[in-house]
Amino acid sequence: MDVQKVGVIGAGQMGNGIAHVMALSGFDVVLNDISQTALDNALAQIQKNLARQASRGKIEDAAVSAAMARISTSMQLADVGATDLVIEAATERETIKQAIFDDLLPHLQPHTILTSNTSSISITRLASRTDRPERFMGFHFMNPVPVMQLVELIRGIATDEDTFQTCQTVVEKLGKTAASAEDFPAFIVNRILMPMINEAVYTLYEGVGNVRSIDESMKLGANHPMGPLELADFIGLDTCLAIMNVLHDGLADTKYRPCPLLTKYVEAGWLGRKTQRGFYDYRGETPVPTR
């Protein structure tokens, strides 16, 4: 199938990044959210990010206005149903995602492919609640979407080959690389990354090192561009905890038990950069470790 029009549900950090790269690559985009403010903020952020790319010579100046012209916004799911490919990028909670797909189903075209940008939730389970499990799969972008080159494509047990090939072609048109992953908890990237972050939190929790020494050790000792606690703040500690819970529940192995300190930070509302406090305090000119 030739995908020309893409629906993106959720105008947050991931959703606006997905809309950005889709529009820049020539797809018409319908960006949906339940909040008009979120949609307005997303458009402003996309415009800003495109302008930054142009100022650095990564894209032509004309590409900015052309990409923005390809993006329309709507608070009505019915408008998303008129697309060839839907990418759900809402909050990482299964009940929310299920409710979105339930509401979206009556408005879909027969050929529309449904996908989720979930970082950990079962694709097979999400697909089973729809009328098209064979045309449903995981389409997991990395954050920040305009910068990161990888997209995980995750087949559910019922996903057919045409759906996979169509989504793989879309990834190629974006100039990104697809990694095919099986539908097991957290897939590839987060199956490896999140336990490392969780172990870094345990290292902090047990007093083996402080925030700064843990991050510096991994940056200078393992050549990581960001320390694991700094990265956790960037991702969002609530997201990290949600993925660890999916791993722990789905695989029933104690090595995936979320660190109590990670849970405590989330309970405090210290979720990282998005709330200005996490393992670092971002309210001043430079981030300051909170432990």
230 is in an annotated binding site: no
Tokens describing residue 51? 């302008």
15 is in an annotated binding site: yes
Rg of the chain, C-alpha, whole Å: 19
Q: For the chain, how are helix, strand and coil distributed in percent, rounded to 5?
A: 50, 15, 35
176 is in an annotated binding site: no
CA distances 263 to 19, 194, 203, Å, are 32, 14, 15
14 is in an annotated binding site: yes
The span from the CA of 198 to the CA of 189, in Å, is: 14
> Strand ranges (DSSP E) for 18-70?
28-32
Q: Which residues are catalytic?
A: 119, 140, 152, 190
42 is in an annotated binding site: no
13 is in an annotated binding site: yes
Q: What angle do CA 218, 224, 260 make, to 5 degrees?
A: 50
Check: CB of residue 75 under 8 Å from CB of residue 39: yes
143 is in an annotated binding site: yes
33 is in an annotated binding site: yes
Give the residue among 84, 145, 142 at the shortest CA–CA distance from 109.
Answer: 84
The span from the CA of 74 to the CA of 112, in Å, is: 18
53 is in an annotated binding site: no
274 is in an annotated binding site: yes
As annotated, the binding site for NAD(+) includes: 10-15, 33, 92, 97, 119, 143, 274
As annotated, the binding site includes: 10-15, 33, 92, 97, 119, 143, 274
